[in-house]
């Protein structure tokens, strides 16, 4: 279970400061598939980054089970992330100088974990013919499937996806969504998806709306 208490983030100080997230309290049960919707600038990415220990809150806490992840120092946060959380971003964020296979295996290398599940993941994402290609040789949809494989390689409990279909054509977006739905259904991954797309939100079990840094 993921739980936040008064989770808040203000960027900057004084006159120019921006209160991007205000006292967010939410609970997400294991195995839930949740859409996070809201206008551009409403605080969606801020929330996801805090939940993913990519950034520290200015106030409040976030728990994974009993672990307060907001109290971890940078090194411990990175380690927690590597073992428990997979990320999928709008612009894929693959390393261009690595092949698809090398990108996928990178989190396993960093965590010093074996990647026995590599072939299974690659097959289930329809990437077997593409693993030796570089990102520039892949379509957007294929790059995002590589990013999902990379997110899955350490078998995390949680996938955090920030507009995963936002940069894809309709067909590739639908394929990526189908794959995320499958991860949720068959592997009981807890999945949070930030999206602008009502069709994507409609496929999720629950929708959280953010407006001006506040959760509804
Ligand atoms: P969303 O993902 O919903 O579009 P964000 O969480 O990215 O929104 O941003 C929320 C607010 O915080 C916006 O007003 C944005 O300009 C501001 N913001 C985001 N990141 C930073 C940052 N690193 N420094 C200053 N302001 C930021
Ligand atoms: Mg955003």
Strand 85-89's sheet: what is its strand order? 85-89, 158-162, 190-194, 33-37, 206-211, 214-215
Per-residue model confidence (pLDDT) at position 187? 94
Residue 131 C-alpha to ligand 2 middle, in angstroms?
A: 29
* Atom in ligand 1 nearest the alpha carbon of residue 48: 6
- Domain extents in the chain: 2-11+18-215
Distance, CA of 162 to CA of 93 (rounded, Å): 12
Q: Which DSSP symbol is given to 18?
A: E
Ligand nearest to the CA of 162: 2
Q: Which residue lies with its CA nearest to atom 26 of ligand 1?
A: 11
- Averages of pLDDT over runs of 10 residues in the chain (216 residues) are 98 94 97 96 97 96 95 93 95 97 97 94 95 98 96 97 94 93 95 93 96 96
Q: Which residue lies with its CA nearest to atom 23 of ligand 1?
A: 11
Residue 119 C-alpha to ligand 1 middle, in angstroms?
A: 38
Give the number of other Cβ atoms within 10 Å of residue 199's Cβ: 12
> Whole-model pTM?
0.95
Distance, CA of 127 to CA of 211 (rounded, Å): 38
Per-residue model confidence (pLDDT) at position 65? 95
Per-residue model confidence (pLDDT) at position 63? 97
Distance, CA of 120 to CA of 124 (rounded, Å): 6
* Atom in ligand 1 nearest the alpha carbon of residue 40: 4
Residue 41 C-alpha to ligand 2 middle, in angstroms?
A: 7
Per-residue model confidence (pLDDT) at position 51? 97
Among the listed residues 149, 100, 98, the one whose alpha carbon sits nearest the alpha carbon of residue 122:
149
Which overall architecture, per CATH, does domain 2-11+18-215 show?
3-Layer(aba) Sandwich (3.40)
Q: How far is the CA of 9 from the CAs of 24, 60, 128, 184, in angstroms? A: 10, 9, 41, 29
Angle, helices 100-111/74-84, rounded to nearest 10 degrees: 120
214 pairs with which residues across the strands?
211
Q: Which residue lies with its CA nearest to atom 22 of ligand 1?
A: 11
DSSP string across 46-86: HHHHHHTTSS--SEEEEEETTEEGGG--HHHHHHHHHHHEE
Per-residue model confidence (pLDDT) at position 116? 94
Helix ranges, 13-54 (H)? 44-51
In which element (H, E) is residue 3 found?
strand 2-11
**118-162 pLDDT tens trace:** 999 999 999 999 999 999 999 999 999 999 999 999 999 999 999
Per-residue model confidence (pLDDT) at position 139? 96
Per-residue model confidence (pLDDT) at position 36? 97
Residue with token string 């006159």: 15
What tokens were used for 191?
Answer: 């999945």
**What residues are in contact with ligand 1 under a 6 Å CB criterion?**
11-12, 18, 20, 38, 40-46
Residue 182 C-alpha to ligand 1 middle, in angstroms?
A: 31
* Atom in ligand 1 nearest the alpha carbon of residue 162: 2
Residue 43 C-alpha to ligand 2 middle, in angstroms?
A: 7
In which element (H, E) is residue 11 found?
strand 2-11
**What is the SS3 assignment for 24?**
strand
């Amino acid at each position: 279970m993921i739980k936040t208490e008064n989770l808040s983030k203000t960027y900057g100080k004084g006159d120019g400061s921006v209160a991007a997230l205000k006292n967010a309290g939410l609970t997400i049960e294991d195995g839930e598939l949740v859409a996070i919707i809201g206008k551009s600038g409403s605080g969606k990415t801020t929330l996801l980054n805090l939940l993913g220990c990519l950034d520290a809150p200015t106030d409040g806490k976030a728990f994974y089970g009993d672990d307060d992840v907001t109290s971890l120092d940078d090194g411990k946060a990175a380690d927690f992330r590597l073992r428990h959380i997979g990320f999928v971003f709008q612009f894929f964020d693959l390393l261009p100088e690595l092949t698809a296979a090398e990108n996928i295996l990178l989190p396993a290398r960093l965590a010093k974990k074996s990647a026995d599940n590599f072939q299974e993941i690659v097959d289930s994402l329809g990437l077997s013919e593409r693993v030796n290609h570089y990102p520039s040789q892949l379509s957007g949809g294929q790059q995002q499937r590589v990013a999902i494989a990379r997110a899955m390689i350490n078998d995390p409990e949680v996938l955090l996806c920030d507009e995963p279909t936002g940069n894809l054509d309709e067909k590739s977006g639908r394929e990526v969504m189908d794959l995320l739905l499958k991860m949720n259904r068959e592997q009981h991954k807890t999945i949070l998806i930030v999206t602008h797309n009502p069709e994507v939100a409609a496929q999720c079990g629950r929708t959280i709306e953010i407006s001006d840094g506040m959760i509804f």
